[in-house]
Amino acid sequence: MRQILFAGAIGLFLTLVGTPLLIKLLARKGYGQFIRDDGPRTHGSKKGTPTMGGIAFILATIIAYILAKVITGEPMSFSGALVLFLMAGMGLVGFLDDYIKIVKQRSLGLRAKAKMAGQLIVGIAFAVLSLQFADSRGNTPASTHLSFVEDFGWSIGPVLFCVWALFMILAMSNGVNLTDGLDGLATGASVMVFGAYTFIGLWQFQESCANAANLTNPSACFEVRDPLDLAVVASALMGACFGFLWWNTSPAKIFMGDTGSLALGGALAGLAILSRTEFLLAILGGLFVMITMSVVIQVGSFKMTGKRVFRMAPLQHHFELKGWSEVLVVVRFWIIQGMCVIVGLGLFYAGWAAKK
């Protein structure tokens, strides 16, 4: 429990103090946001705002995790290291994308093939490594079974697991990326989901099958390799994003950029895969799914009928064009995300209670 508290507090402190230093550095180098011409007209005032702010919470999360381990004297786990690797790797791909946008003034950044190649390399490495490093009970960080609140069904095998893991990583990374269109929207939504995973990891640790002999009902235990360490990583991410939100909320002093959005999406997918809550992530991160689906619906409708369903996609821009202020859209979407987290945690608890 101390690890979780230390990780969250350190992550919060580092981004609160470190983000303004990053803002000054990025502003001095002229690394400002490039605004696309086809976006809402009200976004023109955001041009030049420092971007690549994801660097702040990526570094803060890693440092917070390590310091929490040093302070408490607890060892690091392969599961925790894998989530941090996935976050940092996806963040690096996003950083290259942001850098090209700024330096070459090319609004789309990395070429699509290059960006996809980078995401595939990081995702495949994570998927392969997550099936290694079995503990004394034979559990690897990930499982080749699909999962909701725990594993179910038959094993899909390592090859299909890698394909599934890649799909989750790409879907969540791009989902957070699409959500990151308004000040603080993606950051605030991510804080809620990381908070949920902090709770889930702690609950799984208390009801772990590794401690089945001490449980009142061993049949209701969770078979997860390092649940407590996943909670530590989630807490570090929650604290780091919460501190970053101070500077990212409207009017934003800094944007996370693809550096941050791809990293956060990767971290969410990694936590879901290693905590055996893969399908549950679609509910916990319901806002990201909703916004992603708005783009799918818009593109599909236009290609098939030549008509648009929304005034603009992603969905948050549709409501902007309807006359909602940016702050109003963000707060109401946060409320939606909060309800998704409540429903997701309710389903998680119900799944555990049903086994008792």
Greater pLDDT, 152 or 83: 83
CA 26, CA 290: separation in Å to the nearest integer? 32
Give the pLDDT of residue 143: 94
Give the pLDDT of residue 107: 59
Report pTM.
0.93
- Residue 68's region, left for phi above 0, alpha for psi from -120 to 50, else beta, is alpha
CA 221, CA 205: separation in Å to the nearest integer? 9
Average pLDDT, the chain: 90
Q: Read off the amino acid at residue 105.
A: Q
78, 56 Cβ separation under 8 angstroms: no
In the three-class reduction of DSSP (H, G, I as helix; E, B as strand; rest coil), residue 32 is classed as strand
CA nearest 90: which of 51, 125, 40? 125
- How far are the Cα atoms of 32, 307, 328 from residue 49, in angstroms, in the given order? 5, 34, 21
Burial (CB < 10 A; 0-12, 13-18, 19+), residue 324, is middle
* Residue 7 scores a pLDDT above 90: yes
Alpha-helical segments (H) within 138-226: 157-179, 185-206
- Number of C-beta neighbours around residue 277 at 10 A: 28
Confidence grade of residue 109 (pLDDT, cut at 50, 70, 90): low
CA 234, CA 53: separation in Å to the nearest integer? 19
What is the CA 280 to chain-centroid distance, rounded?
A: 14
Give the pLDDT of residue 4: 96
CA 345, CA 55: separation in Å to the nearest integer? 30
How much is the average pLDDT of 74-79?
94
- Number of C-beta neighbours around residue 273 at 10 A: 27
What is the CA 30 to chain-centroid distance, rounded?
A: 27
- Helix-helix angle 185-206:2-29, to 10 degrees: 160
Least confident of 82-91, 202-211, 280-289: 202-211
* Residue 215 scores a pLDDT above 70: no
CA 55, CA 164: separation in Å to the nearest integer? 28
Note the pLDDT tens digit of each residue in 177-194: 999 989 999 999 999 999
* Residue 45 scores a pLDDT above 60: no
